[in-house]
Amino acid sequence: MGLIMRLSRYFLPVLKENPAEAQIVSHRLMLRAGMIKQASAGIYSWLPLGFKVLRKLENIIHEEQLRAGHLPIQMPILQGADLWRESGRYDAYGAEMLRMKDRHDRDMLFTPTAEELVTDIFRSHVGSYKDLPMTLYQIQWKFRDEIRPRFGVMRGREFYMKDGYNFDLTKEDALHAYNRHLVSYLRTYERMGLQAIPMRADSGPIGGDDTHEFLVLADTGESEVFYDSKVTDLSFGDREIDYDDRAGCQGVLDEFTSLYARTDETHDEALFNQIPEERRRVARGIEVGQIFYFGTKYSESMNAMVQDAEGNNVPVHMGSHGIGVSRLIGALIEANHDDNGIIWPEGVTPFHCGIVNLKQGDDEADAACDSLYKSLIALGLDPLYDDRKERAGGKFATMDLIGLPWRITVGPRGLKNGVVEVTNRRTGESEEMPPEQAVQKIHAIYAAI
């Protein structure tokens, strides 16, 4: 049975003190909960607990991308400069691009994004409208030599990003791809337990006219947001969506973007003032994703053409779509914590529940914990069993810090009455019940998400 889920064998280097270098709560808690370790400025190693959450986010993203019909690929982290010279971005990208030379003195770079490389894959293999539409995506490390890396994974130099690229015959088709991405992103963030509000934005170095950012409201966000309070009532919920249904996807975009919600650059004071005063909000937000339609910007400069039904060679219409996977962990913690630590939403928690043995070494308590642990695993659940010989207070503090949504506490006194205690991390509410019922309860909670 999986020893790795016993805390005595796990690698969870929690910190008792607040690290001085961390200015915001998510950075502080990620360091304190032993999720990451800084390697150099804006560059982190991911330790077991942090890596587990990263993988969870990645799984949700893959599932939602596949559902939308997008194809996963993997492109290299190091790229040659030539393609970037073709698109004109080698010089335009500036100091954020980390450049290097290989042993043959060839210019190389660490990928900050991958429009050029994916366009080259496309133009090498696709020549006909019959192969369209096509969307390729990857989840891959990126590097941007940010002038001021800060707030831990929130603004790193190395960061993990899902980047997707659509290729379509017409503008209309490409706008459908844009809407499809918007819908899939709404689903993705909601599954992670986050409300991410789509907002009209500026396109920056990616280019194009149509772009939306997805913002999670948080005081520590780097973007200023002006919005109608009604946007926070919107929820995708469990509605079924057919990704080929153009009107349906457009309808979702219209619904989620009809209310006023904008960031600094696109803010329009006159429009904002038309919102009833009691609904006007100015707050801060964390950008956890962005979608772009940029038409033929890259296909024209890089000659990515397809033959249309009439036999004409036309440049493909493209867009790109990003999710800040590593940043999302910071955003999740900013939105879900209290004074004692992290509170993971159930969809992304590194372990489904904790088991705290109040008296390690007591035969009855040890046997009850072992049995709970095995029953949970047999149901496909992933518990973390604190089997260390530690004070109860220290065990509770660790569980609270690492934020598992549910805790089962097992002690000799309860066992005498045939019960264990099930505690909800968010509300702090506890309930006593027989161990089998505790297993069923945890199982039912995760079966429902």
Smallest gap from residue 73 Cβ to ligand 5CA (A): 13
CB of 159 to ligand 5CA, least distance (A): 4
CA 392, distance to chain mean position in Å, is 33
* Cβ proximity of 349 and 404 under 8 Å: yes
Instruction: Locate all alpha helices (DSSP H) within 287-416, ordered by sequence.
Output: 297-301, 325-335, 363-378, 392-402, 412-416
Closest residue to ligand 5CA using C-beta atoms: 324
Distance CA 400, CA 417 (A): 26
User: Which CB sits closer to ligand 5CA, 221 or 322?
Assistant: 322
Q: Which helix (H) or strand (E) holds 256?
A: helix 246-257
SS (H, E, C) 260-310: CEEEHHHCCHHHHCCCCHHHEEEEEEEEEEEEEEEECHHHHHCCCEEECCC
Total residues at interface with ligand 5CA (CB under 6 A): 19
Tell me: does residue 70 bind ligand 5CA (CB under 6 A): no
CB of 156 to ligand 5CA, least distance (A): 4
CB of 78 to ligand 5CA, least distance (A): 17
Is there binding between residue 79 and ligand 5CA (CB under 6 A)?
no
Rounded least distance, CB 263 to ligand 5CA, Å: 12
Sole binder of ligand 5CA in the list 27, 28, 89, 144 (CB under 6 A): 144
Beta carbon of residue 206, minimum distance to ligand 5CA (angstroms, whole number): 5
Query: What is the smallest separation between the CB atom of 165 and ligand 5CA, expressed in angstroms?
Result: 7
Q: Does 113 bind ligand 5CA (CB under 6 A)?
A: yes
Q: Check residue 327 for interaction with ligand 5CA (CB under 6 A).
A: yes
Give the DSSP letter string of 425-437. Answer: TTT--EEEE-HHH
Q: List, as one string, the DSSP characters of 51-81.
A: HHHHHHHHHHHHHHHHHTT-EE----SEEES
Token digits of residue 146? 């940010």
Sole binder of ligand 5CA in the list 285, 295, 324, 405 (CB under 6 A): 324
Q: According to the binding rule CB under 6 A, does residue 180 interact with ligand 5CA?
A: no
Site residues for ligand 5CA, 301-320, by CB under 6 A, read 320
CA-to-CA distance for 449 and 442, rounded, in angstroms? 12
Which CB atom, from 94 or from 237, has the smaller least distance to ligand 5CA? 94
Token readout for 38 is 């800084």
* Alpha carbons 369 and 410: distance in angstroms, whole number: 7
Q: Which is nearer to ligand 5CA, 320 or 357 (CB)?
A: 320
CB of 151 to ligand 5CA, least distance (A): 9
**Rounded to the nearest whole angstrom, what is the least distance from the CB of residue 200 to ligand 5CA in the complex?**
14
Q: Which is nearer to ligand 5CA, 89 or 123 (CB)?
A: 89
- Pick out residues in 254-293 that bind ligand 5CA (CB under 6 A): 287-290
Closest CA to 320 of 205, 120, 166: 166
Separation between Cα atoms, residue 43 and residue 29, nearest integer Å? 17
Nearer to ligand 5CA, 222 or 308 (CB): 222
Task: State which residue, 161 or 408, has the beta carbon closest to ligand 5CA.
Answer: 161
Q: Which is nearer to ligand 5CA, 214 or 446 (CB)?
A: 214
Q: Which of residues 194-233 bind ligand 5CA (CB under 6 A)?
A: 206
* Smallest gap from residue 43 Cβ to ligand 5CA (A): 11
Q: d(Cα 184, Cα 252) in Å, to the nearest integer?
A: 11
Q: How far is the CB of 211 from ligand 5CA (least distance, A)?
A: 8
Nearest-angstrom CA–CA distance, 355 and 374: 11
161 contacts ligand 5CA (rule: CB under 6 A): yes
Q: Which region, judged by CB under 6 A, interacts with ligand 5CA, from 263-271, 301-309, 310-318, 321-329?
A: 321-329
Instruction: Figure out which of the listed residues 156, 221, 354, 414 binds ligand 5CA, where binding follows CB under 6 A.
Output: 156
Residue with smaller CB distance to ligand 5CA, 173 or 213: 213
Q: CA–CA separation, 196 vs 221, rounded Å?
A: 12
Q: Choose among 138, 155, 158: nearest CA to 330.
A: 155
Measure the N-to-C terminal CA separation of the chain; round to a whole number of Å: 26
Longest Cα–Cα distance of the chain, Å, equals: 81
Q: Which of 32, 89, 155, 337 binds ligand 5CA (CB under 6 A)?
A: 155
Amino acid at 241: I
Distance CA 158, CA 112 (A): 9
The one among 10, 44, 129, 159 contacting ligand 5CA by CB under 6 A: 159
Q: Could you list the residues that contact ligand 5CA (CB under 6 A)?
A: 113, 144, 146, 155-156, 159, 161, 163, 206, 287-290, 320-322, 324, 326-327
